[in-house]
Structure 1
Amino acid sequence: MEKKTIVKNEIVKNGIHGYSAAETYIAPKEPAVKEHLEWFMGLKLGLMMHWAPGCQMGTYESWPLSDGDGSWSQRDVDWTDIETFKQEYIDCNKTFNPVKFRPDRMAEFAKECGFKYLLFTTKHHDGFCMFDTKTTNYKITDPSCPFSSHPDSDITGALYREFKKQGLAISVYFSKPDWHSDAYWHKAFGTAPTRNINYSVTDHPELWKEFVDYTHAQLRELTSNYGKVDVLWLDGGWVNAGNEGQDIRLNEIVKEIRGTTQPHLIVCDRTAGGEYENIITPEKEIPDAPLFVPWETCTTVGEKFSFHYTDCFKSGRQLVHLLLDVVSKGGNLALNVAPQPDGLLPAPAMSSLRDMGKWLDVHGEGIYETEITAPYYENRVKYTAKKDTVYAFYLYEETASLPSKLCLHLPEPKKQIASVTLMRTGEPVDYTTEFGALILHLPPESATGGEYADCFVIRF
């Protein structure tokens, strides 16, 4: 078999995905999917978790295996030569034993912090399956992995079970590329030069068919063995028919799944465009202006998606402000925190997330199940709406307090204002209107006591 060099597709740069243009968005046609998508976009806040045996290395997850991405992903690898590192990374399954993993406590913690859904990496690009599959031995439940003897060795199944008990929805992260599969990176062709397949689909259609069948089998398992799931979140947008013929025949497997086990299934084929990108997914980025299509940004509590021993974490204030920026522009926020090799979440991340959760306990009414409304945001104010109510959030810097007057530029209301209240106290707020603006007159006692952001509830 002749080795073929594949030119990489710059859908991903330095591990960060771009995102599809809202102008090319195609809405789903199936009534069950449309209804479920509208419901899902009201959840607003999801807990994302990148986790696999490679976390023991404390480097980027999967990416150092791709030489084409080595210029940025292999910088963390400074203790060994890269080929030795790759084998050590691949063999991490033989030492992975997260004995402190408690899916019930993770789920309780997620609910406490205000999360409404889980987005967990069932399989990243390295090909290791964090679920019980019949398609490969490179999985968490294989005897080669010490954790396989644990009662909750099927980590995906355990997480789904416990998060559902807490009332959270399930978004299934799945990597389309699989760098461990011989049908994607074939050993006969040596180390793959890029993140793409290392052979020609035209020259070796039998290999590609093997990979497509393998992928379909895993997607059937994930959508059949764990009860209801809400979203199929497909990563690796460079795997598409227009890039070296990498067509996984997604239309076939999605129609099969929707026609059997999951008729409501939302599909997020990231950066691919078309009818199976039901949600647009900016990564570590928030659009400059509102998007009027379903979208979700995924970003991190720390600096990286994968576990790093020396990571730095955002504060509760930063997380609340991030959430308000996303929601005021119409999106959902998938907030990633990577578990440690022992199965616990990093304590500093948990502290910040709990702070966010305490704020949401008071202000969640203005976040969940809301819609965007003009002017969306102005100065320190972010807006959301629900039926006959507008929520105006005033964001605090660390040493700031409420001004004595706050000017809000709402669109011309169809009804007269019935009341304005400060959400954290429930107390009414005096107001006047001047030249089309709503002026809130705030007493001195309201100026302090708020944290991160205050919300004014304007009912019509």
Structure 2
Amino acid sequence: DGGWVRPRETVNEEVLSWGARIPDWSQDIDMPRIAAMGRDAQPGLLIVDRTVHGPYENYQTPEQRIPEKQLPNPWESCMTLATNWGHVPGDTYKSPGQVIHSLIEVVAKGGSLLLGVGPKPDGTLPEDATTRMAAVGKWLRKNGDAIYGTRTVGDYHQGNVWFTQKKDSSLHYALVTIDTKNPLTSVVTWRNHVPKKGSKVVLLETGKAVNWSVDKGALTVTIPASVRAAMGEQPALAFSFIPE
């Protein structure tokens, strides 16, 4: 771990930002031999070659960031719930909304999210961490169908709306992130991802259908005031629909 042993030509800005001393010569640990030995002993072995990349890695692990666009290979964003990987008293934690927004973006781009939480010296997790994870879990219990087991779509992002689909493409999902810049309003709009004529658009939070209309390729979904009031402050909404 850490990518300390590496060919010199693979050193980039991310590697330099770690602060470790980088030798002026290329380092070699004979990855072809190590990978062959590991996979011979354990055929299901997964190798992550960090920022070196190459033919021996099964997936990539961008750290503390989300790739700018979808990647053509398996990947996982490794991010911390607080600022540090280990427990630091008084650390600054991400809000549940920030975590949910990151999760939505990662999944819409085809990745997985690894969320690091540092335990206290006694092995327990800080309350700041558990309350946030509980809030994320509460959101996922209602909206998880738009996240778990889904696949990417080509046009996956429009403003504060992200899109996923079921593995068999029978249902598409629109996930709308909500924050101070994008507050919840009575209507939500997006383009191109249009429901099949005569079908329903379902708000996953309530499990109920909402009114919708299409005009020149633009879909408008109406959220009644009573529903908005009952939902309270939500970091994101998820809708499901049968695609056209």
TM-score (norm 1): 0.46
What is aligned with 2:53? Answer: 273
Count of residues in Structure 1 that have an aligned counterpart in Structure 2 = 230
Q: Does 1:323 align with 2:103?
A: yes
Match of 1:296 among 76, 81, 87: 76
Structure label with greater radius of gyration = 1
Q: Does 1:403 align with 2:185?
A: yes
Q: 1:307 Cα shift? A: 2.5
AA in 2 matched with 1:257: G
Q: 1:416 Cα shift? A: 4.8
Q: Percent identity?
A: 34
Q: Does 1:429 align with 2:210?
A: yes
Q: 1:254 Cα shift? A: 2.3
Q: Does 1:456 align with 2:203?
A: no
AA in 2 matched with 1:12: V
What is aligned with 2:17? Answer: 14
Residue deviations 1:329-370 (CA, integer Å, cap 9, x gap): 111111111122221222211111111111111111111111
Q: Any residues of structure 2 matched to 1:64-83 within 5 Å, and which?
A: 69=20
Q: 1:281 to 1:440 in 2, by over 3 A?
A: same
Match of 1:341 among 108, 117, 121: 121
Residue deviations 1:220-272 (CA, integer Å, cap 9, x gap): xxxxxxxxxxxxxxxxxxxxxxx734222222232223223x31222111111
TM-score (norm 2): 0.84
Instruction: Pick the structure with more helix per residue.
Output: 1
User: 2:108 touches 2:164 (CA, 8 Å); kept in 1?
Assistant: yes
What is aligned with 1:373? Answer: 153
Segment of structure 1 superposing worse, 443-452 or 267-276: 443-452
User: 1:394 touches 1:454 (CA, 8 Å); kept in 2?
Assistant: yes
What is aligned with 1:388? Answer: 170
Q: 1:302 to 1:344 in 2, by over 3 A?
A: same
Whole-angstrom CA distance in 1 between matches of 2:71 and 2:191? 20
User: 2:194 touches 2:219 (CA, 8 Å); kept in 1?
Assistant: no
Work out which structure has the larger RCO, using CA pairs closer than 8 Å and 6 or more positions apart in sequence: 1
Whole-angstrom CA distance in 2 between matches of 1:433 and 1:417? 12
RMSD after superposition:
2.5
AA in 2 matched with 1:385: Q
**Runs of at least 4 residues off by over 3 Å:** 7-11, 398-402
User: 1:417 touches 1:458 (CA, 8 Å); kept in 2?
Assistant: no
Q: Secondary structure at the match of 1:455?
A: strand
Q: Secondary structure at the match of 1:269?
A: coil
Whole-angstrom CA distance in 1 between matches of 2:137 and 2:193? 31
